[in-house]
Amino acid sequence: MVMESGSSPGVGSPQCPLDFSFGFNNVNFSDRILKIEIMEDPPQSRPDRDGVLTHANDEASLMDMLNFMYSNTLTRTTPRALLDVLVIADKFQVEACLRYCSQLLLKLPMDYESALLYLNLPPILLMSDSVQPLKDAASEFLAAQFKDIGRFQEEVLNLPLVGIEAVLSSDDLQVVLNRKHYPEMQERREVLKTRLLRLIRFPLMISGYLQEVLTCNDIDPELASRIVLESLFFKAKASHRQRYLAAERVNSTTCHYLVERAYKFRPIQVVEFELPHQQSIVYFDLKKEECLRLFPSGQVHSQPFHLGRQQIYLTGQCIIPGQHYFVHSFGLFLFIDGPRSSAACTVVYELASRTKPSEDFVTWWKGAYTFNGGKKTVGHYNMFGVPWTAFVADGSPFFINDILHLRAELTIKTESDEDHLYGELLSILEDLDG
């Protein structure tokens, strides 16, 4: 069927009820020639001389597209019909119709089936600027549905690959997947290498997990080594430099590989020393928006770190008025856990934050605890000695570029340091009294 300027046989007849004759030789309408080859079922896709093809079962969508070209409306607006028209519009490069279909689909309620349907569109179509918002909306819907994969693990593992990619791409992902979906190792390696590894944010893993990556059979050893090396180089950079690199990567490639997710346990940087004492220096950064979400009684936890046989978490918390304080305040605590032992050890700690105007670290609290196993909590209910409202107020000295920079130093003291430790404890008590 060839449509050209002038009269066209069959237009307006019972066999072709849509009358487009008003548009012919009209300067307001394009004189572009559409060459369309209609093929009989079963469809055997073959391009015509101009490289444009369609199937007989696409005829209704084709007529919808032609109707849109001359009336700017579509006769069918169900999701399935709009998708069919969208695909036809892409084949014939009718950008206005493509954009119109995408906008209508975005206005319709999103559900599980429609989200997967949109993500299963041809890849070249998903790359179109007109269809990109539809792809993003479908990905965000699935990511929101399965944000906590631990609760919906079976459902996520039963998703098609495009669905798993959408969930793993989310900045709000909270936990990781297992290997059940691809039981064969070679298939699993290929899927990970070509589709999924780029979505896993290795640079934000703690060192212990990166060590497991090196010995993971699901990843080619050479590839695993490169991933871990790149991750360690990133982790070695200062936190402000990390944020700059993450933003730069997103702006230049739209890649979120370096962007922190909404982790249940927030990333930290740890510097460890063995001599002259076992010591861990932990840097824990919180965004102001994260702190604001803690009100009135929320908590935010760091990833675990280790000191000797102790596993320790840093926890920031909005303290509700009660026994300790009459107003809300920001508290910072160390949650310690470890195996029972007859040999007790003493740990001296300092809690500090970068503070304006100098923006240097200022030590707010010093303390010590004795640890012989089990669970223990130490810290302070009002880290900065001010009400919550002053802590989060505009111009607060505790946020630098809307980031709260916290630091905890923990040092194990041995028996040979007993006299020195006693002097330190007296100094701490004097500071507290002062």
Q: How far apart are the first and last CA of the chain?
A: 93
> What string of DSSP letters covers 300-340?
EEEPPEEETTEEEEEEEEEEPSSSS-SS-EEEEEEEEEE--
Query: Rounded to an integer, what distance in angstroms lies between the CA atom of residue 178 and that of residue 238?
Result: 32
| Whether the predicted pLDDT of 2 surpasses 80 | no
Compute the distance between CA of residue 134 and CA of residue 261 in angstroms, rounded to an integer. 22
Mean pLDDT, residues 179-195 taken together? 64
Q: Is the pLDDT of residue 276 over 50?
A: yes
Pairing of strands 34-35, 265-266: unpaired
Average pLDDT over residues 255-280: 76
Least confident range from 67-71, 116-120, 199-203, 281-285: namely: 199-203
Q: Compute the distance between CA of residue 42 and CA of residue 62 in angstroms, rounded to an integer.
A: 18
Nearest to 381 by CA among 313, 299, 303, 312: 299
Q: What is the reported pTM?
A: 0.48
Ramachandran quadrant class, 420 (left: phi over 0; alpha: psi -120 to 50; beta: rest): alpha
pLDDT(51) > 50: no
The answer to whether 406 and 313 have CB atoms below 8 angstroms apart is: no
